[in-house]
Structure 1
Amino acid sequence: MPRIAYVNGRYLPHAKAAVHIEDRGYQFADGVYEVVPVHKGILVDEELHLDRLERSLRELRIAMPMGREALKLISREVMRRNHLNNGFLYMQMTRGVAPRDHKFPAAAKPAVVMTVRQMKPASKEKLEAGVPVITLPDIRWARRDIKSVSLLPNCLAKQQAHEAGAVEAWMVDGDGYVTEGTSTNAWIVTADNVLVTRSATHDILNGITRIALLDRVAAEGVTFEERPFTVEEALNAKEAFITSSTNYVMPVTEIDGRAIGNGHPGLLTMKLRDAYVAHIEGGEGTEAASPAKSAA
């Protein structure tokens, strides 16, 4: 079945979907994006994702191209046309098309693109083994809280991780503290069973899975600290894991070639993963994606 994309008001075959060469997202990375997981036909934590999308647009002074309900209707139509049951919905919004000039154009119309992708859950083998990460200097700009399409430093770091046989790179600021992964948030569990992750300031992107998991942490009565942690503290941690919309809660069992804890996924990590999966399965904070009528 051919994939279908939405581009500025049109549903097109994925292979033929395109934007103008002077779209500012292409020329200046002048835009934002969201990735919303879809589980059993349900958009997971959709409202939180849309809240973050609107915030990112505001920070870049890009007008919301349509109302939230219209955006929801289109997203469901894209899912329907692609028969998406498990995977993710990708949406990207840029300042639009205008003659190339660094300053904001006076009358550009924001551009909207939506695509979907099928995706299988993490394998049992991967969860049982955990994943390795490496650490690298964080060379990104100072507004990491904006979900910008400007991801070149993230791509460079992810490639280095891949070449090192790791699945993720944890980026480290100038003071030696871990900020986050290239596409994930970073967490550790100390020897005293304290869960630690960095505060959601301009230094990191406040992940939606991170937000949802913090609710589970509170419900489970886990001792928790929101603060920076060093690479050395991570290497000596009892457990570590990453979170994201596509990884959920994924155990980290190796950092820079050193085993974390006993080298196996930790008990608290897996307990929190189970709690997050239960959140998804229960449909809390999610909305069904089966429209009664087409948005075409």
Structure 2
Amino acid sequence: MLNISRSRVQQCSLSVIRRLKSTLVIAEHSDGKVVPITLNAITAAKQLGNEVTLLVAGTKTAPIVSELAKADGVTKILSAENEAFKGLLPEALTPLILETQKQFNFTHILAGASAFGKNLIPRVAAKLDVSPISEITSIKDTETFVRTIYAGNAIQTLKSKDPVKLITVRGTNFAACNITGGNASEEKAPSCDIKNDVSSWVSQELSKSERPELTSAKRVVSGGRGLKSGDNFKLLYEFADKIKAAVGASRAAVDAGFVPNDMQVGQTGKIVAPELYVAVGISGAIQHLAGMKDSKTIVAINKDPEAPIFQVADIGLVADLFKAVPEMTEKIDSYLSK
């Protein structure tokens, strides 16, 4: 006859409950502030119906922990401070996440589909011998997720039977969670031996602008090869400032050296879904459309009436951009001055 103590059964039951209701979100932060896509990832985590735990790692985590403790739906925050976490390098964070997973046995581990998440999640997935699930756009249930493939031209519904799901979340498809009303508890993350001989953090240079950040802006104005030079982007800057919009660019404009690559919108750039997207001098290659076609209203300005961008545009203007954009800027300026 099998003899198992009641306390042992209770421990096993608690372990199963914990296993079934546990999601970890890896918080991304920079310069003492939470990166907005973390809040989108929290919303996705809440849709799984599990308890949500955040992992905040870095050198000075107190302000980040204090801010995220108020996030709606977050139950617990695990904090880890170590000089090795400076710059949030994936080689340093992976051992921490593996040790955390070993102790808490999460069913899902999420991060935003930013450069940070795309570097980290596949590495952790490889160490756990599971398949990462990249850039989900919606959640069907705890095992079924939706994502785009073929540069956004097809939608895939994926079911994962892995014991732990490693997921990156496309921020534009999930609303940011509220940072009010929450009261998450804090505890130290599990300690681990961190050995990172592969990479080291040197420095970062942050570009500052009074315009909204590209991935979170409600209005975006993007330029393409049709602008002919970087100097001509000042037409877009003037127009964007009038409507308080962020400025983006197509890959063709970036490759031509008109603007820096952090302005690139598209499959290999940033994914945006603003209320208004204005495409100026952009032909509409599928790689670019993959990064902006979820925008609520798309306006296209191109002198070629056969440009593919008009197939997805809500409003199309066949005109010379060097005449149309200054005229639009002037009319908006005249309207605002009334």
| Pairwise same-fold verdict (TM > 0.5) | no
The structure showing larger relative contact order (alpha-carbon pairs under 8 Å, at least 6 residues apart) is 1
Relative to the length of structure 2, the TM-score reads 0.26
Relative to the length of structure 1, the TM-score reads 0.29
